[in-house]
Structure 1
Amino acid sequence: MNRFPTRRTLLCAALVLASVAAQAFPTKPIRLIVGASAGGTTDTLAREIAEDMTKTLGQPVIVENRAGAGGNIAAQEVARAPADGHTLLVAFTSHTMNASLMKQLPYDPIADFTPVALLARVSSVLVARTGAPYRNVRDVIARGKASKHPLTFAIGGTGSSLHMDTYEFEHSSGVPVMQVPFKGTSPALADVLAGHVDLMFAPVNGARPLVQAGKLRALAVAGNRRIAAFPDAAPITETIPRYTTNHGWFGVLGPAKLPEETTRALNAAIVKAMQQPKVKARLEADGSTPETGSPEQFAAFLSADAKHWAAQARAFRIQPE
């Protein structure tokens, strides 16, 4: 009798062990690392899905904020974490954009991560103070081309998708623009309200209360369709067909080489969380569109998005810093 295990026996044993390991996940609390400050859209979305994921997975899902460096601090922490599914990154647009804007990153935004689930895509809104002589994009273009001076655009976040929207507007409309950078959305909006700056591409959640209060006018949305938050604001593409839409996005990533069974379990829990009515309502209020799908679909999205931002950086002659 052969006392040594056959290859078939070893294979069966390995499959059993893998199955047991998959069924055991998660074995401890899951950390959702967010590369943004508490209270913002990314943080709020992370906390809402964490609540439902806790119920589904049977372990606490804890949100931890690691703000700074355009999301790089949080991304680097997750890239170096064990690939067991217990440390995840709630990423946003800068994750794929930074590779085109920075000379050197401490990680590869594609190769060093496992795509788990896309959460949502988000559009920005072009706003002006209500006393300004603009009611739509056509007014902006007409005044910009007639003026001897370039229109001023507030930049609430250098290197953000909102910044790219400003570049794209100048590029596609032919209207000269002077960018005025600010350290955050709030001070940028304050100077638009005060009349110190003409216009701004703003996040929907930041602009909405000011539009509702009659202090700002929503001229257009940067996406390719209308959104519930500003139903009267037409997409810029209706006026400028060659305008290339720059979508912001949110998604969940794990470290590279995350086991497939673990990735599937996390994806299913996240998709379920995103289907909750309160999560959908929150996203809609912020001008976001839920975009959940499979890990493979998210991987394809990330690859395409990185190429998109690289093309934008070349078109606008942005030199990495």
Structure 2
Amino acid sequence: MNRFPQRRAILAAALALAAAGAHAFPTKPIRLLVGASAGGTTDTLAREIAEDMTKTLGQPVLVENKPGAGGNIAAVEVARAPADGHTLLVAFTSHTMNASLFKKLPYDPVADFTPVALLAKVSSVLVTRTDSPIRSVGDVLAKARSDNKPLTFAIGGTGSSLHMDTYGFEVASGVPVNQIPFKGTNPALVDVVAGHVDLMFAPVNGARPLVQGGKLRALAIGGPKRISAFPDAPPITDAVPNYVANNGWFGVLGPAKMPADITKALNAAINKAMQQPKVLARLEGDGSSFEAGTPESFATFLTGDVKHWASQVKAFGIKPE
């Protein structure tokens, strides 16, 4: 592995923190707001980086869970907070997706925030129960043709990137799909294992123990390439070339108009925290990839992701609520 990018990031952290020191930042504990419940992927990642950021910045970095409304509750609080770098949002894919799923949001997902750091991108995995005759995406296509009826797909989170994966697969493959909504990923996976639902786009970290335990079969990856968690599962695009591969993501945002030196200091501290071996190892196991970058590159990503989901929602015929 090439260590030079990591060394450059650590050096950048030291330089940025020294520059921010002239403005005495931080002067109090930093709040990391998470728009999801404790124990989930977003919360776990937030707590891992908070621990290292505390050491780097010299002030406690405290994670606060504000679940609900697809992350909107936490986002509103951060958007309205003072732009001094002491209140931050650990956002995920719904932050950019919600702009197309809701007729009116209480904030603008781009204009009302300062991009700080993109943490990681993550793929989904298409799964079925182990005793299913379906062993590949090709089998899914064949079964749809032979049965002449919709296949059932569990939806673990309405309006999530996994939900969009399901829409995308239906449109690209021509396979008729009957979506079965569940109140969360875990109950959805339970019904797939039990055979009550045929298939599901699942988060890698949720599906992996069930695949390893012989209860689920990983058929394909929703992202653009194979991942180490399921090395035998090819990308869906191998069988359905016009499928648009999606990536979920995690990132840190602050209120709009945060000072540039504070934003750079936070970016450097976060990039350093993300390079902890335990964090990198867990990300790899979850099918995620660390995305070190600048606040500017994250801003470009956010703008593009809003447009991506807008085009997807339009293509799928989804009506904003």
Q: Shorter-chain TM-score: what band?
A: over 0.9
SS in 2 for 1:166: helix
Max Rg structure: 1
- Equivalent in the alignment of 1:316: 316
CA change 1:138–1:262 in 2 (3 A) is: same
Does residue 219 of structure 1 match 2:219? yes
- Quick check: 2:20–2:265 contact (8 Å CA) kept in 1? no
After superposition, the C-alpha distances for 1:35-94 in whole angstroms (9 at most, x for unaligned) are 000000000000000011011101000000000000000000000000000000000000
- Equivalent in the alignment of 1:230: 230
Deviation at 1:20, TM superposition (A): 7.7
Does residue 206 of structure 1 match 2:203? no
- Quick check: 1:156–1:181 contact (8 Å CA) kept in 2? yes
Q: Partners of 1:227 and 1:22 in 2: how far apart?
A: 43
Q: Which runs of 4+ in 1 moved over 2 A?
A: 19-23
- Quick check: 2:153–2:178 contact (8 Å CA) kept in 1? yes
- Quick check: 1:223–1:245 contact (8 Å CA) kept in 2? yes
Matched letter for residue 252 of structure 1: V
- Equivalent in the alignment of 2:274: 274
Q: Partners of 1:49 and 1:20 in 2: how far apart?
A: 20
CA change 1:20–1:113 in 2 (3 A) is: closer
Q: Partners of 1:24 and 1:141 in 2: how far apart?
A: 60
Matched letter for residue 206 of structure 1: G
Deviation at 1:286, TM superposition (A): 1.0
CA change 1:145–1:20 in 2 (3 A) is: closer
CA change 1:63–1:150 in 2 (3 A) is: same
Percent of aligned positions that are identical: 77
Query: Please, what is the CA RMSD of the aligned residues?
Result: 1.0
SS in 2 for 1:24: coil
The number of equivalent residue pairs is: 303
After superposition, the C-alpha distances for 1:239-290 in whole angstroms (9 at most, x for unaligned) are 1111101110000000000000000000000010111111101111111111
- Quick check: 2:211–2:217 contact (8 Å CA) kept in 1? yes
Q: Partners of 1:36 and 1:106 in 2: how far apart?
A: 18
- Equivalent in the alignment of 1:87: 87
TM-score by length of 2: 0.93
Q: Partners of 2:22 and 2:72 in 1: how far apart?
A: 30
Matched letter for residue 278 of structure 1: K
SS in 1 for 2:118: strand
TM-score by length of 1: 0.93
Q: Partners of 1:120 and 1:249 in 2: how far apart?
A: 6
The gaps in structure 1 that reach 5 residues or longer are: 1-18
Does residue 262 of structure 1 match 2:262? yes
- Quick check: 2:128–2:192 contact (8 Å CA) kept in 1? yes
- Equivalent in the alignment of 2:160: 160
SS in 2 for 1:214: coil
